[in-house]
Structure 1
């Protein structure tokens, strides 16, 4: 990250120093969060995507699986609508309203996580899911201490986003093509996504997901459970 900043012709030395200071503070907090998650016995997943990709709908459907108990830290600029949707499904969810911030930072997650703990809502959970603010740029720069980073790409967005937004997809330990039941309507090319991911970050698993196909969602659930059993931890450096 530091070398990328220094090689950027659009940034002067002062800009580099400011960005480094902000991110180093976030990274320290993220490391603290990693220890908290571990001590509390939670495997943590960071879900990232553009707005409207179906992150909350995916979580609503994942909550239907008896062997997948999770709580959620929910990020949006305004409103608590997504948290309320999950709470109606019986999922413990704490909303973060970021105001004008286009991403979550580790300190924001810490406050929401502590609130979940104080309410006693993590005790029966095996997983913490962070639903990041909808954005294909900014969240790619902020470590939240998660073990697994999953990026959603919805069919209506188009199949060309991988190489247009490489920083985001470089974060991915898995990619989910959501709203897959609409593939034929939009002429979405799965092969294009596979080819671009192979160029950018080979061997990252790609899943198709549709709220109309619980088998597709079960594969995602089983993948996360398996990563937890393996105690997999992402080696991506934000």
Structure 2
């Protein structure tokens, strides 16, 4: 047990140092990272594509990096926006880590990017524990996922700087209870802003870009009150080791 705890602390300490270094390097380049977390199928890619198109139309220099266990489908889709896009294949790892992200940013994106949107692996457990050097951490949930999502995944929602609800165009059809969802978010992350969006209907499109630009320009972001608490998910790393990663970023 002591060995597992020691390994856990070593893995998180290494990631925190990498995140600190990456954040400083990106700040020197004038780039802010927006870390997007959600379950698979939440509509994260659809909304991000709309935001990237809008950024290009506004002449805001942005780029996007998307992570998946397999396939480059999301990168191909996001590339339709006309902004620089890159894919990370994690080869089975359920989350991104700061040093992984840093390796893919060596000489990329081309030119100056004001914002780098990182579409993390579709998972609300593993990615919540790893700081990527982000300026803004956004957790997304679709109306089809249920109002209790924040209570089921308190670490992900509890550490978010911003919460985004997607697919609101079908909220009535799936009997989504917005008031209950908001109350559950407030329970795990008091004071965090909740944005309502629909990529299909164009509802709320641009709000995420606006919040990200404000954060990049130094506007204060929400400070989650949730303290770190360890969870029992075991992560398998490329070196064959396993570690129980604690919550936090």
Distance 2:137 2:157 in 1: 10
Distance 1:64 1:14, change over 3 A: same
The equivalent of 1:132 in structure 2 is 120
1:73 aligns with 2:65: yes
TM-score w.r.t. structure 2 length?
Answer: 0.84
Structure holding more strand per residue: 2
Deviation sequence 1:124-161 (CA, Å, 0-9, x none): 42101111000010001111000100000011111111
Indicate conservation of the 8 Å contact 1:148/1:234, yes or no.
no
Indicate conservation of the 8 Å contact 2:147/2:184, yes or no.
no
> Superposition pairs for residues 213-224 of structure 1, below 5 Å?
213-224=201-212
1:29 aligns with 2:40: no
SS at match of 1:230: coil
1:116 aligns with 2:81: no
Deviation sequence 1:173-224 (CA, Å, 0-9, x none): 1100001111011111111111112211111000111013335112222222
1:107 aligns with 2:99: yes
Number of corresponding residues? 223
Distance 1:21 1:124, change over 3 A: closer
Distance 2:202 2:61 in 1: 17
The equivalent of 2:47 in structure 1 is 58
TM-score w.r.t. structure 1 length?
Answer: 0.88
Indicate conservation of the 8 Å contact 2:137/2:160, yes or no.
yes
Distance 1:155 1:63 in 2: 22
- Tell me, which stretches of 5 or more residues in structure 2 are unaligned? 225-247
Indicate conservation of the 8 Å contact 2:191/2:222, yes or no.
no
Distance 1:41 1:132 in 2: 21
SS at match of 1:150: strand
| Equivalent residue for 1:225, pick from 213, 218, 229 | 213
Distance 1:156 1:177 in 2: 10
The equivalent of 1:154 in structure 2 is 142
Distance 2:207 2:39 in 1: 22
1:44 aligns with 2:43: no
Indicate conservation of the 8 Å contact 1:153/1:177, yes or no.
yes
The equivalent of 1:19 in structure 2 is 8
Distance 2:87 2:222 in 1: 25
> Superposition pairs for residues 86-97 of structure 1, below 5 Å?
86-97=78-89
